[in-house]
Structure 1
Amino acid sequence: MKQLSFAAVLCFAFFTSFAQSKETIAYRKESEEMRKSVWAWEDPKFKVKDIPQKYANASKIIIAHHTELTADSKSSIAFYGLGFGTKHKQNLTEIVREVVKLNDKNAVTEYSELSFTQFEKRSGFYTSDKSSTYVGVRVIKGDGTVKEINADEIVLTKDAANEKQAKLAIPDLQPGDILDYFFATAQNTTNDFATKVYTLLLFDNAPVLSYSFHSQLGKKFAVEYRSYNGAPELAVKKSAESDIEISVQKNDMPPFETSLWVSATRQLPFIRMNIGQGYKGIGSAAMGMSRPGEIKKIANSQNALEEKSREFSLRYYNGYWMRNGREEYISMEKLAKSKAKQMGIEYKSMSREERAALIYYTARFDWLLRFSIDNLEGKINLPSRRFDGFPFSMFALLKAADLDPAIMVYEDRTGFRMNEAMNGSDLGAIAYLPGTNKFFSLTSVFDIPFVVPGSAEGAKNTKSFTFEHPAMAGPGKVANLTEVAPGPNVATSKSTDNARIEKLQISLTAEKTSLNVKRNTILKGHYKLDEQTKLVVYEDIMDYECKVFKQEELLLDEIANSKSGKKYINEVRNAFAEERKKQKDAFSKEAKDWFEQEVTEMKDYKIENPGIRHNAPDFVYSSNFQLGGLVKKAGNNIIVEIGKIQGTPLVIKEEQKKRALDIYMPFARSIEYHLEIAIPEGYTAEGVAALNSKVQNETGYFITEATSNGQTVSVKIMKHYLNSYEPLQNFEKILAFVNASSEWTNAKLLLKKK
């Protein structure tokens, strides 16, 4: 299915009802007018039929891709009911047209449906904004016949009052066809001074014969832009009416392999623009706004850093130093002190890091975990929620406790480099304790202190800020902001820090074709979160934390014994019981997905350690089940396809081997299997020595070690990626151990009848 998301380019979010009859009639009329307009474009690039021989074997070829963006801004007087004011109205239209040659069945499948947001709308007290998307589709057959698809014959996949998602089927597509289609989005907004980030992606996984962009913006708009990774510069000029005209043209773009270990932000060509209404009134400089008609090429990250620091500085002054905000953070330290007393710990005797960790856990418990009947469903599903790291909140908590924290601003290791950021959102932020480099980020209820997210690993050239009340900042200080110099360098985790260790005790009988597996899984570092989210039950997290805090009552007892909780305790018990029932299915699905074989008779499943404390950080769980698909009979003998215990390890495809880019992996990591296979009575194990293998170099290794004592076969399988980044010249070395792992899936253990 081919899907083009305009929300990623110009974020439209509009909410109100859709009056089916009148709106549908109007929409169909507008849609027909839009198609007549677009099909009338006279441009030779849309009529190309001949494909260069060098692309003859490509699955698809983008013959032409063109975007036309127009935006007009004008002022008018509007009556708001309370008085007169100036209303700024924007009319924006974006048309994206693409002509693509479909060479094989994969391409036909990809383009057999087009999905889009047909209609969105929002109404507010002062505004009534609307956005509509129109579609046109034509199929050009090999004999030159042109067939236009009725683009109004859509199927709604989401029919809500505030949004309608739709898909359009393209029937009878065949290899060799040319598809000519467009999406057009028209938007009206009022009083919209928000900056819209618009991105031109000058890469595709298919060859592009012609890529072009043209925009005409009203004179009240302003544009900031930057080209990345070899992308061409914008051609910018002013029209006679002072409109801003922007154009980009690039021909014969080769395909880019983007599916394996690629950082698009750092490696692939694209152009970014900040587009919005200019403003030159009072406070424009402080708000970092461009003047109407201004066209600015961003050459450094100073604006982005100022935006980031301004955000936290204003939150500090307007929130933390205002009475209510500051009291909230002070009260959290008071609560942490009571927790320490409850645990039998003298708060004053704790080190700076220990106090910071206790405050972190107290805030996590009180803000994110504490149960409320008002949101029963949401609380039960709370472990699946994601947060932004709470950099300012973490800073404010530690500041209120006089722990002298700071906020580190850093570049995402696969995102924008520090000197290439255009907006504050391009940069990450995390609270920490200067002098200790102990970091505090809260992105889920499973996070622990002193751990940095993978995006921040290895960060250098960081910027670090702390804040004081303006009265304490002294003369000349701007916005209560103080830069701490220098910012810290962040360590990079090792393959053993992000590990998955499967300890499997395996037994089998001659009568069965499945293995009995007693499993113990240990997950470390960045490998934990996905499985924690799937397997951990909310009640267990709460009870675990209650025990650590040495609270007398566990969660259900606390609710049942409270005055307000008595009336809904049965509802809570029933809800928790339902979640407990689902946990067995979650364990079965997780095992089936990991081993990629049939899993039956799941029992004795248990979370051994939830991995939510820094002094017990590993996520550990166990279970017992039957694993199918690995046992075959060969006369009186048994063959165990032991190599398939890995499931399907990474296989690097032929097209991925034609690599021209450095390697950006998510993080250094390792996967290990520690197998103990009991030899059935009356059998002997043969071929054990053949299970041993070793491929090792500076990028990583795949090693298997197998031994037998006559009763048990022990096999240790180890696959380690030692680094998160590798230069291109090391790709063949990575291939060596990755291929060895893939080939070892054919390994077999013969159990021979005596």
Structure 2
Amino acid sequence: MKTKTLNALLLFFTFTIFSQSKEELAARDFFWGATDAYKTVTEVPEKWANESAVILYKNENYDFHKFGKNVTYTSSIRQRIKLLDKASVEEFSEFVFKKRFRSDKGRYTYLQKGNNYVGVKIVKPDGSEVEIDVEEESVEVDGETKLAISNLEIGDIIDYYFYRLEPFKTTYAFGFDPVETYLGEEYPVVDFKLFFETENDFFINFNSFNGAPQLTEIPTEKRNMRRYELIDSDIEKIQSTRWSYPLLELPSYKFQVYFARSGKFEDRAMAFLPENEEKIKTSVSKEEVLELYAKRFTPFGNLGDIERYFKNKTFKNDSEKVIEGYYFMRHYYLTRFVEAIIVKDAEILYNPFEFYGMPVFIENQKQFVRHFTAFLFEQDIKYEIIVAKKRYDGPIDDLLIEKNLNALVKVKTNPPIYADHFSVHTNINEFSPLIEDTDVYELYPTKKKNKIDVIKKGKLPVSTHLDNETKKDITFSLNDDFSGINLSAVTNYKGHSKKDEQLDRLMFMDYVTEDYAKYETQPWIELVKRKKNRERYKKELAAVVEKIKVKQKERFEKSAKAEFQVGDIEDYTFEIKDTGRYAFDSYFTFTESFEAKNSLIKKAGPNYIIEIGKLIGGQIDIEEKEHERTTNINTASARSYNYNITFNIPDGYTVAGLDKLNKSVDNETGAFISTAVLEDNRLVVNTTKQYKNNFEPKSNWSKMIAFLDEANQFTNEKILLKKK
């Protein structure tokens, strides 16, 4: 349930109010005081009588106040839930939370402590109430507070609140974290209220979507004080659905509050602020996007390093120059510092960056856009800045919160080149698949100006299932006594399919060494001037590398066992063949091999059964209850999985059962196709599984089920190894 993960919930007290602070008493009175209109509500609507639980009342609150440099942010939630079966009783029988925390907001406020105040009471069917004493009943475990609620029974009502009080200091503009959520819960909700309280210098962007009620203003007794509420009722529960984006289809709301003490800070704010504090901003126009980013995205950066790198280099065209510049920047502003980051994290040296002189880091998208466009402007290469929203957050026309925007650069070569802020493995023409095929804003300067003055609508391209590929070549044979298998595999990933695998499989030395050689830069250890220190750091860094390798091998062995669905493995080997880090369409390739006893083979009289279908890995099993679908289908990207499996047939045996390995389901949503042929003393099985699009309307769900079910069934297929 969403509220259970709300930073971990609760801290409680008994019916007797023991020593409580002023803030604790205020929190308790806010929810359970004399004005509590829901303290006697106990009945569940008849239509929900068979639910696991029903939320009788849900109340969310956000308060923003300031006094001088001090700002106080209070967020709270109350839920009154009737438990109707054993599952819900078990779910609410234990809570985990933190009592205190340090603020991460504002400036110089790390030492400022915030507090979580929580109350819980149990209302029995006869109307009696038991308020729980958290101090007495809870225990501290690894920095967390755990509370077990005993004697909870079917028919009880659990009524709890979580009240988070966070003070901090700030003298400049500050944006609070956005809130984007839908009204529904895991359980039906009878009544819901969202409440806001703000004052001068707090700016609100807020809007409701997909039929959710609008925010309304409540009159207040003070001119500088503002209150708002959103009220709804009779909210059906949310069914968890595979591959769905709830914010696109369910009643929902989004908001962000921004604090700006004066006009100059309002101008500097990285946000689309309303005209004044008294107005709620509900939308953002493309003209407002241009106005904000024309100031923030002016090209800027010291290009001396790249100019020195380009000296005496020649390029066939602008495309080649842009690509070379991008990968050099990725190294010079990121990967050459990776060793130092490892050294610092391992506590080998407090400040390992001192050996770089004045290192420059490009830490976020906006810094990257400014630096990369400065490079393009200097090279007289035309460009556009792309501003996009991720698909799960809705279309660009519904833009409300600046933090939801992604910025990248489109270089106007032929064909266009896209450059996004780099991580250690990011490639040219690679950007988040979640913004592919979306409508975007394109911003650019006219003529030879470097100031952005034009904005228009555009659309990003989309990668295909052929671009995003997982390819495996697997060869296996039985060991001499037929007690297990020997398996070797060459695994290739490209496109969007490879980044997570690179992050998991590549150790830092695999790629920093590659970059050092390519760009003729010195490893971190060579920058240490004093020989005595250099030898010591080198030894300590080597120990870190060895430790990582040991853990890495353990992790890879576990991964191989899970992927190939085998038991204990022996003699595991692993080797990187190509890092795939210099082109989006290049393969990241590695090999692995192992022996697995008592795996994929079963004796059947004089014959053997080989569970060959398991070698394509676990597949999605669509349960019967999932066959009815009410939401559209959104996956991260189109993609394909291609397996080539070769089984070396032992002498004196033949293979039967090939007919079950030949399958074909292919439609506009995807495909699963497999073939099996005998080639001399080898059985060769090829399979391909394709997700052809990143989006399908719900009307195509049955077509997706067709190829998903076929792939899942293949994992159960076996062959019979018959003695001649």
With the shorter chain as reference, the TM-score category is: 0.7 to 0.9
* Structure-2 residue corresponding to 1:684: 654
> For residue 632 of structure 2, what is the amino acid of its counterpart?
D
Give 1:509 shift. 4.0
Q: Is 2:342 the partner of 1:364?
A: no
Residue 367 of structure 1 deviates from its aligned partner by 1.8
Q: Figure out how many residues of one structure are paired with residues of the other and give that number.
A: 691
Q: Which residue of 1 is the match for residue 97 of structure 2?
A: 116
- Give 2:280's aligned amino acid: K
**Contact 1:280–1:290, Cα closer than 8 Å, also in 2:** no
Q: Which moved more, 1:279-288 or 1:570-579?
A: 279-288
Q: What's 1:542 paired with? A: 512
Question: Helix, strand or coil: the match of 1:462?
Answer: strand
2:188 maps to what in 1? 207
Q: Which residue of 1 aligns with 2:233?
A: 251
> Is 2:577 the partner of 1:608?
yes
**Cα distance in structure 2, aligned partners of 1:282 and 1:533:** 42
Q: Deviations over 1:545-574 (max 9, x none)?
A: 34445x4x9959957999674553333333
Q: Which residue pairs with 1:618 in the alignment?
A: 587
Q: Report the AA paired with residue 664 of structure 2.
A: K
Tell me what 1:132 maps to.
115
TM-aligned CA distance change 1:202 to 1:306, over 3 Å: farther
Contact 1:154 1:166 in 2 (8 A): yes
Q: Report the Cα distance in structure 2 between the residues aligned to 1:386 and 1:740, rounded to whole angstroms.
A: 47
1:444-482 Cα deviation digits (max 9, x unpaired): 2111112232123113343223499xxx75xxxxxx632
| Structure 2 CA distance for aligned equivalents of residues 172 and 303 of structure 1 | 60
CA distance in 2: counterparts of 1:562 and 1:209, whole angstroms: 71
Post-superposition offset of 1:494:
0.8
Counterpart residue number, 1:522? 492
Aligned equivalent of 1:354: 320
Is 1:420 the counterpart of 2:403? The answer is: no
Distance 1:5 1:506 in 2: 45
Provide the residue aligned with 2:308 in structure 1: 334
| Alpha-carbon distance between aligned partners in 2 of 1:504 and 1:273, rounded to the nearest angstrom | 50
Distance 1:30 1:283 in 2: 31
| Pairwise CA distance, 1:413 | 2.5
**1:660 offset after TM fit, Å?**
1.5
Using the TM superposition, give the Cα deviation of residue 157 of structure 1 relative to its aligned residue in structure 2, in angstroms.
Answer: 5.1
Question: Tell me, what secondary structure is at the counterpart of 1:431?
Answer: strand
Paired position in structure 1 for 2:629: 659
- Partner deviation per Cα, 1:405-434 (whole Å, 9 max, x = no partner): 332112223223211111222211101212
434-443 vs 518-527, which moves further: 434-443
Compute the displacement of 1:107 (Å).
3.5
Residue 504 in 1 paired to residue 487 in 2? no
Q: In the alignment, which residue of structure 2 is the partner of 1:240? A: 221
Cα 1:558–1:126, aligned 2, differ >3 Å: closer, same or farther?
closer
Mapped partners of 1:198, 1:206: distance in 2? 21
Query: Equivalent residue for 1:217?
Result: 198
- Show structure 2 runs of 5+ residues with no match: 9-17, 353-360
Quote the Cα distance in structure 1 between the aligned partners of 2:632 and 2:585.
36
1:399-438 matches, within 5 Å, as 399-436=377-414, 437-438=416-417
Q: Which whole-Å CA distance do the structure 2 matches of 1:283 and 1:216 have between them? A: 22
Three-state SS of the structure 1 residue aligned to 2:333 is helix
1:60 match? 53
Q: Could you report, residue by residue, the CA deviation over 1:234-260 in whole angstroms, capped at 9, with x for unpaired residues?
A: 121332323322111111111223442
Moved more, 603-612 or 99-108: 99-108
The AA in structure 2 aligned to 1:298 is T
- In 2, Cα distance between equivalents of 1:65 and 1:557: 58
Which string of whole-angstrom CA distances, capped at 9 and with x for unpartnered residues, describes residues 473-517 of structure 1?
A: 5xxxxxx63245656532211112111112110111473443221
Letter in 2 for 1:194: F
Cα offset, 1:350, TM superposition: 3.0
Cα distance in 1 for partners of 2:84, 2:482 equals 48
Report the alpha carbon displacement of residue 5 of structure 1 after superposing the two structures with TM: 5.8
Within a 5 Å distance, the mapping from 1:88-487 to structure 2 comes to 88-122=69-103, 129-141=112-124, 146-152=129-135, 153-156=137-140, 159=143, 165-191=144-170, 193-196=173-176, 197-199=178-180, 201-218=182-199, 221-242=202-223, 243-277=225-259, 281=263, 284=266, 289-290=273-274, 293-302=277-286, 305-306=289-290, 309-310=293-294, 312-313=296-297, 316=299, 320=300, 326=301, 328-335=302-309, 337=310, 347-370=313-336, 374-377=340-343, 388-389=364-365, 390-436=368-414, 437-466=416-445, 473=449, 481-484=451-454, 486=456
SS in structure 1 of the partner of residue 693 of structure 2: coil
Q: What percentage of residue pairs aligned between the two structures are identical?
A: 26
Alpha-carbon displacement from aligned partner over 1:242-300 (angstroms, at most 9, x marks no partner): 33221111111112234421223322222223334565645746756546641224234
- Secondary structure of 1:540's counterpart equals helix
- The 3-state SS of whatever aligns with 1:348 is coil
1:93 to 1:371, Cα distance in 2 relative to 1, 3 A: closer
Preserved CA contact (<8 Å) 2:201 2:277: yes
| 1:669-725: CA deviation from partner (whole Å, max 9, x where unpaired) | 112221111222232211111221122211001112112246222212221110001
d(CA) in 1 for partners of 2:684 and 2:125? 61
CA contact (8 A) 1:333 1:400 kept: no
Contact 2:32 2:39 in 1 (8 A): no
| Structure 1 residues 733 and 44: CA distance shift in structure 2, 3 A | farther
Deviation at 1:42, TM superposition (A): 5.0
User: Which letter does structure 2 place at the counterpart of 1:677?
Assistant: F
Query: Counterpart of 2:392 in 1: which secondary structure?
Result: coil
Which consecutive residues of structure 1, in runs of 5 or more, have no partner in the other structure?
9-24, 76-86, 160-164, 321-325, 342-346, 474-479
**Equivalent residue letter for 1:239:** T
Distance 1:631 1:394, change over 3 A: farther
Quick one: distance in 1 between partners of 2:58 and 2:204? 23
Equivalent AA in structure 2 for residue 188 of structure 1: P
CA distance in 2 between partners of 1:654 and 1:443 (Å): 43
Cα shift at 1:302? 4.0
Q: Distance between the aligned counterparts of 1:640 and 1:431, measured in 2?
A: 52
**How does the TM-score come out when normalised to structure 1?**
0.82
1:616-671: per-residue Cα shift (whole Å, max 9, x none)?
72111111113454222222221122222233311234444332221111100112
Partner of 1:261: helix, strand, or coil? coil
Q: CA–CA distance in 1 between the matches of 2:20 and 2:363?
A: 39
SS in 2 for 1:544: helix
Distance 2:228 2:508 in 1: 53
Deviation at 1:114, TM superposition (A): 2.5
Question: Residue 206 of structure 1 contacts residue 255 of structure 1 at CA under 8 Å; is this kept in 2?
Answer: yes
SS of residue in 1 equivalent to 2:546: helix
- The question of whether the paired residues in 2 share the 8 Å contact of 1:369 and 1:379 is answered with no
Q: Does 1:51 align with 2:44?
A: yes
CA contact (8 A) 2:69 2:170 kept: yes
Deviation string, structure 1 residues 160-210 (Cα, Å, up to 9, x no partner): xxxxx5443334445554322110112334446424334453122332222
Distance (Å, rounded) in 2 between the aligned partners of 1:394 and 1:110: 51
Write the distance in 2 (CA, Å) between the matches of 1:715 and 1:41.
73
